[in-house]
Each structure stands twice: as C-alpha cells, then as structure tokens.
Structure 1
Amino acid sequence: MTAYLICVLFLFSRVNSLTYDPTWDSLDTRPLPPWFDDAKLGIFIHWGVFSVPAFLGAGFWWSWKGQPLPAIVDFMQKNYRPDFTYAEFAAMFTTELFNPEEWAEMFQDSGARYVVLVSKHHEGYTNWPSKYSFNWNSNATGPNRDLVGELSAAIREKTHMKFGIYHSLFEWFNPIYLDDKHSKFKKRNFVRTKTMPELYELVNAYKPEIVWSDGDWEATDAYWNSTNFLAWLYNESPVKDTVVTNDRWGSGIPCKHGGFFTCTDRFNPGKLQTHKWENAMTIDKHSWSYRRDVRLEDFLTIEDLLSQLVSTVSCGGNMLMNVGPTKYGKISPIYEERLRQLGQWLRINGDGIYETRPWIHQNDTVTNNVWFTMKKAVAATAVYAILLEWPDNNLIKLGAPITSENTTVSMLGYPETLVWTAGTFGKGINIQIPYVSVKTIPCQWAWTFKMTGLQN
C-alpha cells in the first residue's frame, strides 16, 4: 500500500508541475489522474428534449428532419398536427418528478464511482441556463431548472462519486454551424460563438471531473479548437489536476488521442488494450434515451451487464453504463432494478473489480467464461478469477494460474478458505466447491475467486 501511495503522489506531482502545449504530442503526455483507472464503473445519463417524444431514441429529431426514418415520419403524422415543430417538445420537457438526491442515492447504490450527465446533445438544448443558448435551455423553456447544477450538487453533497458532463460539439440544425459546414469549415463562427464558450462556461460553473466530448466527426480537431481548450483545461481550469477527458475531439482523433479512449459506442474489444479506455454502453440494447416503445427483451439482463463489466475491467477498461430518464424526471423501475442488482453484486465482489489492474491473462486457457483481474499489495499479489457460468459438478478447473506451496484460494462472500489441487503436470489449479456454498452466497450471477501465492 505504501508503494501504491508513493506512485499516486508521484503521478499527481507530475500532473501539477507540467505545463501542456496545445498539441497532441504534448497533451498526450499528461498522466491520467489515478482515480479514473481505479473507479471502473460510471453512470451515463441521456436526458433532454428527445425524452419527450421518447420514440426510437435520442436521435429522434435527426431521424425526423435530417435523414427521415419512415417510422418516425409516420409517428409524427399520426400523432401531431402538420405544422408541429421539434422546438414545441421543449415545453413538454417538464421534469416535475426529478429529485436529484433520489438519483444520487440510486447511482451510489449501483456501485458506480462516477456519473456523466448529458449537458447538451446534438439537438443543441442545454440542461443548464447557458448564456450561449438563448431560449433553448432548461431554465428558459421547459423545466425552469438548472438540471446540471442540481444533479452536480446532489452527487457532491450526498455521495462519494465524481461528477462529469457530456457535451456535443456540434448541433444538427444550428444555422451558424450549417453555415460553417457549407464553407467546408473555413468559417469557424459556430466554434467561436457557441461550442467553446459553452465548454468554458460548463467547466467554470460546475467544475466537472469528466469532460466527455461527442459530435466531433464532421470536422477536424483544428476546426473545433480542441487542443487549445484541452491545454487550458489541463493547465489553468479549476479542475486541472483531477479532470479526465475522452477522445472525441475531431474526425480521425478517436482511439488515437485524448485522456481515455472510447473509440466507438459500445466499444468492448475483448482483449487487453495498451491505452486506458472506456466501454460506453446502454442497458437498453438499442437506445441511449428512454423509449415508450421499448420491450422487456430490449434490456440487458443482470448477467449481460456483469459479462460486460467483467470483460471490460479485465482488459483494462471502465464501463460507462447508460440510463434514460423520462421527461418527468423519473428513472423507470427496469433501470433501477438493474442498477441495484449490480450494486448488490459489487458489494460482495467489488474487491475483484475496483482498483484492480489487468493480469498477464485475461481469459482462462481451460474454462470458458472466466475473466481475470489483479491487485498488487505489499504483502501479496491477488489474482481474481471471475466465473460467469457455474460448472455442473462444482469443480472449477483453471489452466492459467501457476500455483505454489503458498497458494491460497477463497471465494468472495464465502467465509471459508477453499481446498485446491494442482492441475495436470503441476499446471493450473482445480477448485472443488462444496455444494452448500453456492446456496449461501447471494447475487448468484457471477462468482469471484481470489488467489494469492501464485508463481505468475
């Protein structure tokens, strides 16, 4: 533990002492603040005017007026008058049941260590009273509330989680952006008057410890002025020592530059990555926002979520798990159930998730559906084997671990040390679990075995 603290202090001293130039060569040398790699799990919240029609997802406006989908066009023709505009949905974004303390408690109970709220999606509507989004923000139209401010305060006052914001660089139908686009981005009026002022406003007002950028793909990072903003964020901003950023800062930038890589939506490569990354994914398999047309089978099961979490962490990533609240400000029971189930599991098995690092193996060489993590300490190094499927005969055969005479094995949530034998020719390990142990451990969706004293 002493060595770990020294390493953390060294990294923080580097973050605090260096000045970063507005170039990727310089920005990419900034060490990632250690809290992010330790956290492993975050909550993503897609909430905005798109939560009002709540049909086919957050891209509703674009799928109605940008690249029309027949289902959405038909939906609008059948349910709204012919001259209805998307802007009229904003008055229906009422949020009257939004209780930020209730959300904060639920997210903390899920085991998440950070929260990322959509402050502005591609529709341009801001969930805070932005000076740069006149009459198209949550204080001027709809809720008459500062949604970003209320949730950030609840997260900080009621929990130990970090608070972050998602922000879209572009807006589908903003005329200033469309004029810049028409000029092939030789003009930069949208960035100068909208994108960058909003980002500076968000950071200075709410001090988010995650800045999660999106909507970058149509223009280069030079157009977005991304490196100048990041240099300010790392050098001068009120969160310069602790803030983390993703990689969506311009076309060609994702998976190449930035604090942590997101690459593509629902990115989970299933193998060890050389750079810290995040799996931004959804509980609803098909949508980032609440849908009135959702079906039960569209939701990931708790087993599905654990498979995503365990495989992500084993390969060096964090999982950012998305929920979509209603226009009223409630998180529906199916989302709440999944969050609280995950929290139940983590309260027993979290030692094999939080603060861990990838082991030399991610998967076992003998038994399928096993993922490994590792945690180093002064006394001993622990290797965790997380099983997603229980063997029929209660005998677990692992081929990757190399045992020694000092090897010990335990199962998280089970009070007794387990008996093991070496595998064939001294390679691997066989763990026989008493049948009663299966019934005495709650949250039986995945099982974590802790091994110490291994030779590898």
Structure 2
Amino acid sequence: MNQTGGLNCSRLQVQSTLFSRPSTTKALRRGAPRIPGTGTLWTRVLTGTWWKTWVSPSEKRSLHYGLYNSLYEWFHPLYLSDKKTGFKTQEFVFNKLLPELHDLVVRYKPDLIWSDGDWEAPDTYWNSTEFLAWLYNDSPVKDSVVTNDRWGAGCSCKHGGYYNCEDKYTPGHLPKHKWEKCTSVDTFSWGYRRTMQLKELLDLPTIIQDLVRTVALGGNYLLNVGPTAEGTIPPVFEERLRGVGDWLRVNGEAIYGSQPWRVQTENATLPIWYTSKGSTVYAFLLSRPSQSWLKLSAPIPSPSTNVTLLGYPIPLKWSPIQPSGLMVGLPLEPFVDGHGWTLRLDGVK
C-alpha cells in the first residue's frame, strides 16, 4: 500500500515454501482451524507466549511464518445483520473484524497475512484499503509484511502483494505478477475429515509434480493439511510431507532460491520443466525415461557445458544437436525408483 492508499502489487512472496495452515488445540468446529481471534466461531482470551512454541522453531530455520484470517464469519450475528442490509452497515467490521486484525498484527507480527472469506461483500464493506494503508505505512510489520489478494469481491487476481486467484489456481504460462498455488492434500476439504478415503488424497508423485510446475512458473506452493481437533497431523498426511522433504533433500537446490528460466517447459522427449539459479539451469524429469538418453531442445550448450544428475556422483555424458540443444546420456540406476529427477546444467544459455 502506498501513501495514498493505492494497492501495492510489487511485494514478493517467498518462493516454494510448504505451508500448513495453523491450528489450535481443542478446536470446536469442522473446517480449517484458525489462530484465536482471527475469524473463529468462538471467542477465547489468550495471554502468555503460547504461540512462540511454533513461531520460534520457524525463526531458528530462517522460515517466514504467516497467519490465516477469514474476513467473514458464517453465523456471527453482527455479520448476519450487516448482510441483511445489503452490507450497507458495517457493525461486524468495526466491532469485530478490524479490532481483531489490528491485534493480530500488533501481537503476533506475522510475515504474511493470508486473507480469505471475502467473496460475499466488496472491499468497501470490509474496509480493506484503510486497513492495508495502516498495515503498509504504520504497522509494526510495515516494511516486511506480505499479503494475498482476497480483500473483497472482485479483488482476486487484480490487487494484492501476490495473487491466489482461486483455490488450486494454475496458470498456463509465466504470469507477470507474483502468484501462489494453494492446494490441499485432501482434495475434498481444507480441514480434517474422519471419513476421508485414500483415493481422495493427493499422492506424493502428484504433489511433487505440482511443486515443480508451480516453481517453474514463478509461483509459491502452499500445501495444506488439516490437523485433528487435538492439533496432531494424521499419519497419512505426515507420510506425504516427509516424502516431499526427502525429495527436497536431493533436489532442493533446484527449488529454493530459484527463478523461472527463459523457457519454462518443453516436450521434446518427455515433459521437462526448467528453473534457474544464477548461470545454472535445472531440468526436471517428472516421469521415468523409457530410453537411456534424453533430448533437451531449449538449452544452448558450449564447450564448457557440464551435466549432472542431482544425487548421482558421476557427471553425465552429452553431445550437442543442431540447430540447438543437447542429448544427455542417462544412468539406469537412479531411475529405478523415485518421483522426479533433476538435471543440473552448467555452461549453457
């Protein structure tokens, strides 16, 4: 937000971080849990430093942390009263929403505010521009905070530090504005469901494909899991999160701190996605090659070109092809098992 209250769309989102929407213990309702005082259906007065039990570990690992806030509350009497007037009154906004939002920022000093629940009313009802003006100009986090684009009906994909556009949004090209794909391991819910079935959950290969495609197109990847009412992560979700972590231990250098390359994807032999970091280019293979070689059409090799497979100790053989590109010889062993592999290309254009 600039000094005149105009929306600032230049703030950058941290790329390729896996987020889980925060939970409270003893949650009293179904759906995605909320930090107390940020859009719940119950009121709790909290004191002390309970929240540091999950904020401090993130700070130790240099992770930015964000807080989720739902603007509207389905059954709050003040909100329902405003709704009956066609949102011409703002009793809910001034007596409930804005005091909690200000308290959220002052007390917890989040790096990111993930706003939601805006679709029933315009930003003028939510008083969004005034709040964002304070957030970016006068709040304790004015120089660091990042916000998304859900601040009023019709705002998504138009105004915000970065765009969510819609749940599970995936652009077909490299967007000009910073964006995020938010998706859930449970394809039917953002919260925990006792009745969920395995076939309704994203499997690990799908999650890794989602992550790679999102990063190749310059996006942030938000992966949600719904904690239980006791605040625990179900084993089936933990298995997937740990699987992504195992994959990132091998391939993370092509994800963290990377940028979109001049070519984001190609399909000369099989689907390939690209990222870059400095002068290094990374090529992701999301399916097992059927042959012992791979054709890459986009990179332009040079005499100093070096090709390696992340997690494999021996440089790979390659040869140039005309008019541009290279053929890469692949080892058989690493392709026996896995959910995606990464070639590191040095000395290419």
User: Match for 1:40: what amino acid?
Assistant: S
In 2, the alpha carbon distance for the partners of 1:149 and 1:194 equals: 25
2:306–2:347 CA contact under 8 A, matched in 1: yes
In 2, the alpha carbon distance for the partners of 1:431 and 1:448 equals: 12
Q: Does 1:428 align with 2:334?
A: no
User: Match for 2:271: what amino acid?
Assistant: N
Instruction: Quote the offset at 1:284 in angstroms.
Output: 1.1
* Cα deviations by residue, 1:385-419 (Å, 9 ceiling, x for unpaired): 00001212221112222222222111111122111
Q: Does 1:403 align with 2:301?
A: yes
Q: Which segments of 5 or more consecutive residues in structure 2 lack a partner in the other structure?
A: none
Instruction: Quote the offset at 1:150 in angstroms.
Output: 4.0
- The structure 2 residue matched to 1:119, chosen from 15, 31, 35, is 35
After superposing the two structures, state which structure 1 stretch, 210-219 or 147-156, moved more. Answer: 147-156
User: Match for 2:315: what amino acid?
Assistant: T
Instruction: Quote the offset at 1:50 in angstroms.
Output: 10
- The structure 2 residue matched to 1:299, chosen from 174, 183, 201, is 201
How does 1:50-449 map onto structure 2 within 5 Å? 58=31, 118-119=34-35, 124-125=40-41, 136-139=42-45, 148=51, 150-156=53-59, 158-376=60-278, 381-423=279-321, 425-438=322-335, 444-449=338-343
Instruction: State the match for 1:21 in structure 2.
Output: 4
User: In the superposition, relative to structure 1, how do residues 320 and 145 fare at CA in structure 2: closer, same or farther (>3 Å)?
Assistant: farther
2:71–2:115 CA contact under 8 A, matched in 1: yes
In 2, the alpha carbon distance for the partners of 1:328 and 1:42 equals: 22
1:52–1:326 CA contact under 8 A, matched in 2: no
* Cα deviations by residue, 1:170-194 (Å, 9 ceiling, x for unpaired): 1111111111111111111111111
Which has a greater percent of helix? Answer: 1
Q: Which segments of 5 or more consecutive residues in structure 1 lack a partner in the other structure?
A: 1-17, 60-116, 126-135
2:24–2:231 CA contact under 8 A, matched in 1: no
User: In the superposition, relative to structure 1, how do residues 50 and 224 fare at CA in structure 2: closer, same or farther (>3 Å)?
Assistant: farther
After superposing the two structures, state which structure 1 stretch, 344-353 or 253-262, moved more. Answer: 344-353
In 2, the alpha carbon distance for the partners of 1:47 and 1:390 equals: 38
User: In the superposition, relative to structure 1, how do residues 355 and 154 fare at CA in structure 2: closer, same or farther (>3 Å)?
Assistant: closer
Instruction: Quote the offset at 1:326 in angstroms.
Output: 0.6
RMSD, aligned α-carbons: 2.5
User: Match for 1:118: what amino acid?
Assistant: R
1:267–1:279 CA contact under 8 A, matched in 2: yes
User: In the superposition, relative to structure 1, how do residues 121 and 177 fare at CA in structure 2: closer, same or farther (>3 Å)?
Assistant: same
User: Match for 1:387: what amino acid?
Assistant: L
For 1:371, what is the secondary structure of its paired residue? strand
1:309–1:319 CA contact under 8 A, matched in 2: yes
In 1, the alpha carbon distance for the partners of 2:67 and 2:140 equals: 15
Instruction: Quote the offset at 1:49 in angstroms.
Output: 9.2
User: Match for 1:396: what amino acid?
Assistant: L
* Cα deviations by residue, 1:111-134 (Å, 9 ceiling, x for unpaired): xxxxxx832699733xxxxxxxxx
TM-score (norm 1): 0.71
In 2, the alpha carbon distance for the partners of 1:147 and 1:253 equals: 34
Q: Does 1:42 align with 2:11?
A: no
Instruction: Quote the offset at 1:349 in angstroms.
Output: 0.6
* Cα deviations by residue, 1:243-264 (Å, 9 ceiling, x for unpaired): 1000000011000000000000
After superposing the two structures, state which structure 1 stretch, 290-299 or 403-412, moved more. Answer: 403-412
User: Match for 2:165: what amino acid?
Assistant: C
Q: How many residues align?
A: 349
User: In the superposition, relative to structure 1, how do residues 147 and 304 fare at CA in structure 2: closer, same or farther (>3 Å)?
Assistant: farther
TM-score (norm 2): 0.92
Identity %: 42
1:124–1:174 CA contact under 8 A, matched in 2: no
1:164–1:208 CA contact under 8 A, matched in 2: yes
In 1, the alpha carbon distance for the partners of 2:339 and 2:84 equals: 52
In 2, the alpha carbon distance for the partners of 1:445 and 1:433 equals: 16
Instruction: State the match for 1:32 in structure 2.
Output: 11
For 2:131, what is the secondary structure of its paired residue? helix
